Structure 1
Amino acid sequence: MAKVRKRILPSGKQVWLADYRDGAGNRRSKQFELKKEADAFLVSARGEVAKGVHVADSASTTVATAAKAWIKRAESEGLERSTIASYQQHIDIHIVPRIGATKLSKMTVPSVHEFADDLGQSLSRVMVKKVLGSLSSIFKEALRTGKAAQNPVAAVKIKMSKRDAARAEMPTKAELRAILNATPEKSKPLIWTAAFTGLRASELRGLIWDDVDLDGRLLHVRRRADPYNVIGKPKSEAGTRDVPMSPSVVTILTEWKKVCPKGDLGLVFPNGAGNVESHANLLNRVFWPIQIAAGVSTNTGKLDDDGNPVMDAKYSLHALRHAAAALWIEQNATPKRIQMLMGHSSIQMTYDTYGYLFDAREDDQAAIAAIEERLLAS
């Protein structure tokens, strides 16, 4: 029978013990300085036992141990190495150093708020939100295995102001035109496809010829290459989609297919040996030199051996994806259509990224042809 009783410690100090039985019938007790604290705990514990969710402090695990279990679960479910590596960074750099030794049963909504406030001293709100997302997933896994009775992170919300949501970096139309005009013939297939279809770099690196419908003027996005050059499915169900090609992209890819390096994977944009090209090479050997040649660059303030200023490219390859979306929106594609074309998992993601650009409309093939004609018109 659950009850609160007084106890005198050997030191002579008076404490209060909350005695009860857990869901398995095992006797448990917890010590408090005040009777009202013991009473409150007992009410809560009895309710949790009745619901089958109670975990005694002595049976609870630490955040660090629970984090290991979560990562092990993620690995068993086949999550991509890059995703797991990101989670592990959250754990190693932000979670374990601060609260790793704390038992899950000791974590409360106020303590999670305190943890988030501590993170906010050195991290952006966006990053704090990501770390809390990982902590929440740790609790979800602990709940699944009976190591936690609740997920206090679920009640903690990080407010994102419009100032926190930086607009996607992308070249202006003049810069994009300069980039396309400065692109050498050997790089045109990649750069023009990126600029007019909005595929992610990982999707471009994993694109195979079997998924290129030149007659139907469609790219079937069915796979991607991860940072370790491993081909796999898109990261989300929404990533599997069909994207229209502009007339010039169809022409360029038709000619490229004749001379594209051959490999067992049948990749559209492989390295010279026909294998998956690394993302770093696409930047260092292709896109960054093109930008500098196009004058789309910034002065580093340094000089080379000949006394000339050293220039840096302004944009990542992902900027072409944003530019493609902006061009689609300019042609009045609807938010829902942009969500599909970009492979966003939710319409909210589309609004968060491109909300300031929107108006409305649909006809894909006519729109992409008009986009190309307007952009490249001299």
Structure 2
Amino acid sequence: MKNYCKTHSRNLKNGAVEMAKVRKRTLPSGEVRWLADYFDAGGNRRAKQFDKRKDADAYLVKVRRDLQLGVHVADSTSITIKDASKLWLERCAAEGLERSTRDAYAQHVNIHIVPLIGARKLSQFNTPHVHAFADELAKERSPAMVKRVVRSLGAIFVEARRRGLAATNPVSDAKVKTNDRRKLKRPEIPTKPELRTILDAAQGKHRALIVTALFSGLRASELRGLRWNAVDLKRGVLTVKGRVDAWGDFGLPKTSAGERDVPLAPIAINALKQQRLAIANGPDGLVFPSDEGTPLDHHNILARVWTPMLVGAGLFRLHPTRHDVEGDPLKVAKYNFHALRHAAASLFIEQKLSPKRVQTIMGHSSITVTFDTYGHLFEDDAADQTAVAEIEARLLL
């Protein structure tokens, strides 16, 4: 009997002959194995063993296709997902991603990816494995976390392919679905009387910060990184060019949509004019600097400005477990600072700005984000009732 069952051959561009064949192999124990034997693009002989001939044949078909495309990576030379994760995180650092983003990615790798699949080789990880990994994550992680971790896994394979360490990205072909039937929670938005109370309470050196936040919809990180060279008080427009992260480091907006022009209401223009006269222009030219001229710390904004202001204005809740020094339930702000951004969006929508315009002003990465967050505010009950009444009238004519 011949020592092989199937042979493939073709001429390579350099004139060498590539031999790819499946050979039957009998182990000392008497068990039969099928060996897929071939030469890679570099002329190195490679082999992989299978329990079934059909699996060996299928593997050689894939190898030949990858060799033709110039993307083949042998199992014996493939690195593990753990090692590929390290290369991806290094790439993230080299590209200057913000520290908070890199920390989140590192948590995905160290807490979720490496413990479950870190030892697997890139060449041996396929689309069904991605789905199995997502299913395993879903047992103890939230649907949102599963999506983020799988997205990071896909980025790991993208970097590996860029380096020639992976032939494919199995995550790109995976349609991971999560069984999250919970309705998206609507953002908490202060009422108009509450917003007027906040504006009345916003006095002193931080008034401009509160007023600008409410009438521009900027994120806290964008406010903390706002410079005077991005504010045109004559035109009544400010330009978002960057942001400051939790560690006080300057950086670009997270997405290209974050760079935008935002119109200012007259009250915000006046507040900024007063701010311009009241503070010294420090080396960074910040609109809202700390007393030292450095970016404001977000936790200090909450602890020293926002919470005392809301509690003093009567907009507070009683903490269920924490108490103050006198033993009474601790008073905490009824809304978080981000509520000012939500309030700004609601005011834009109330003024009949189009969804696309709201997306642009808010700096959302896509219109989907806008509708997911504020879709209920675009509803018009009166118009809906008029429409269904007209439908009824036409049907019964």
Q: TM-score higher than 0.5 here?
A: yes
Q: Partner of 1:2: helix, strand, or coil? A: strand
The unaligned stretches of length 5 or more in structure 2 are 1-18, 381-397
**Within the alignment, does 1:105 sit opposite 2:123 as a pair?**
yes
The unaligned stretches of length 5 or more in structure 1 are 361-378
Q: How far is the alpha carbon of 1:209 from its aligned partner?
A: 1.6
- Matched-pair contact (CA < 8 Å) for 1:211–1:219: yes
**Within the alignment, does 1:31 sit opposite 2:49 as a pair?**
yes
Judging changes above 3 Å, is the alpha-carbon distance between structure 1 residues 134 and 31 closer, same or farther for their aligned structure 2 residues?
same
- Matched-pair contact (CA < 8 Å) for 1:262–1:273: no
**Within the alignment, does 1:323 sit opposite 2:318 as a pair?**
no
**Within the alignment, does 1:258 sit opposite 2:277 as a pair?**
yes
Out of 338, 343, 358, the position equivalent to 2:363 is 343
Q: What is aligned with 1:135?
A: 153
Q: How far is the alpha carbon of 1:267 from its aligned partner?
A: 0.8
Task: Give the distance between the partners of 1:234 and 1:227, measured in 2 at CA.
Answer: 14
Q: What is aligned with 2:203?
A: 184
Out of 149, 153, 159, the position equivalent to 2:171 is 153
- Matched-pair contact (CA < 8 Å) for 1:64–1:101: yes
Range moving further from structure 2, 151-160 or 3-12: 151-160
Whichever residue aligns with residue 47 of structure 1, its letter is R
Range moving further from structure 2, 342-351 or 84-93: 342-351
Task: Give the distance between the partners of 1:37 and 1:148, measured in 2 at CA.
Answer: 21
Q: How far is the alpha carbon of 1:261 from its aligned partner?
A: 4.5
- Matched-pair contact (CA < 8 Å) for 2:238–2:264: yes
Q: How far is the alpha carbon of 1:256 from its aligned partner?
A: 1.7
Out of 69, 79, 83, the position equivalent to 1:61 is 79
Q: What is aligned with 1:357?
A: 377
Task: Give the distance between the partners of 1:267 and 1:175, measured in 2 at CA.
Answer: 29
**Within the alignment, does 1:209 sit opposite 2:225 as a pair?**
no
- Matched-pair contact (CA < 8 Å) for 1:298–1:313: yes
Out of 253, 262, 284, the position equivalent to 1:234 is 253
Task: Give the distance between the partners of 2:161 and 2:187, measured in 1 at CA.
Answer: 37
Runs of at least 4 residues off by over 4 Å: none
Q: CA RMSD in A?
A: 1.9
Q: Partner of 1:149: helix, strand, or coil? A: coil
Q: What is aligned with 2:144?
A: 126
Q: How far is the alpha carbon of 1:164 from its aligned partner?
A: 5.3
Whichever residue aligns with residue 47 of structure 2, its letter is S
Task: Give the distance between the partners of 1:193 and 1:256, measured in 2 at CA.
Answer: 11
- Matched-pair contact (CA < 8 Å) for 1:199–1:342: yes
Task: Give the distance between the partners of 1:178 and 1:117, measured in 2 at CA.
Answer: 48
Per-residue CA distance 1:278-310 (angstroms, 9 max, x = gap): 111111111122222233322113443324321
Q: What is aligned with 1:333?
A: 353
Q: What is aligned with 1:376?
A: none
**Within the alignment, does 1:165 sit opposite 2:184 as a pair?**
yes
Task: Give the distance between the partners of 1:187 and 1:345, measured in 2 at CA.
Answer: 29
Q: Aligned pair count?
A: 360
- Matched-pair contact (CA < 8 Å) for 1:261–1:273: no
Q: Partner of 1:234: helix, strand, or coil? A: coil
Per-residue CA distance 1:201-229 (angstroms, 9 max, x = gap): 11100111222211211112122112221
**Within the alignment, does 1:198 sit opposite 2:217 as a pair?**
yes
Task: Give the distance between the partners of 1:82 and 1:307, measured in 2 at CA.
Answer: 36
Whichever residue aligns with residue 337 of structure 2, its letter is L
Task: Give the distance between the partners of 1:272 and 1:283, measured in 2 at CA.
Answer: 16
Task: Give the distance between the partners of 1:20 and 1:175, measured in 2 at CA.
Answer: 74
- Matched-pair contact (CA < 8 Å) for 2:131–2:176: no
- Matched-pair contact (CA < 8 Å) for 1:333–1:359: no
Q: What is aligned with 2:3?
A: none
**Within the alignment, does 1:75 sit opposite 2:93 as a pair?**
yes
Task: Give the distance between the partners of 2:257 and 2:59, measured in 1 at CA.
Answer: 45
Task: Give the distance between the partners of 1:303 and 1:168, measured in 2 at CA.
Answer: 27
Q: How far is the alpha carbon of 1:359 from its aligned partner?
A: 6.2
- Matched-pair contact (CA < 8 Å) for 2:36–2:57: yes
Q: Partner of 2:76: helix, strand, or coil? A: helix
Q: Partner of 2:112: helix, strand, or coil? A: helix
Task: Give the distance between the partners of 2:93 and 2:327, measured in 1 at CA.
Answer: 51
- Matched-pair contact (CA < 8 Å) for 1:8–1:14: yes
Out of 245, 261, 265, the position equivalent to 1:246 is 265
Task: Give the distance between the partners of 1:120 and 1:294, measured in 2 at CA.
Answer: 43
Give identity over the alignment, percent.
52
Rg larger for? 2
Q: What is aligned with 2:13?
A: none
**What's the TM-score, normalizing by structure 2?**
0.86
Q: How far is the alpha carbon of 1:59 from its aligned partner?
A: 1.2
- Matched-pair contact (CA < 8 Å) for 1:195–1:321: yes
Per-residue CA distance 1:171-191 (angstroms, 9 max, x = gap): 333433332222233321111
Whichever residue aligns with residue 101 of structure 1, its letter is A
Q: How far is the alpha carbon of 1:72 from its aligned partner?
A: 1.1
Whichever residue aligns with residue 71 of structure 1, its letter is L
Q: What is aligned with 1:366?
A: none
Q: How far is the alpha carbon of 1:327 from its aligned partner?
A: 0.9
Range moving further from structure 2, 226-235 or 161-170: 161-170
Judging changes above 3 Å, is the alpha-carbon distance between structure 1 residues 112 and 269 closer, same or farther for their aligned structure 2 residues?
same
Task: Give the distance between the partners of 1:12 and 1:109, measured in 2 at CA.
Answer: 34
Whichever residue aligns with residue 324 of structure 2, its letter is D
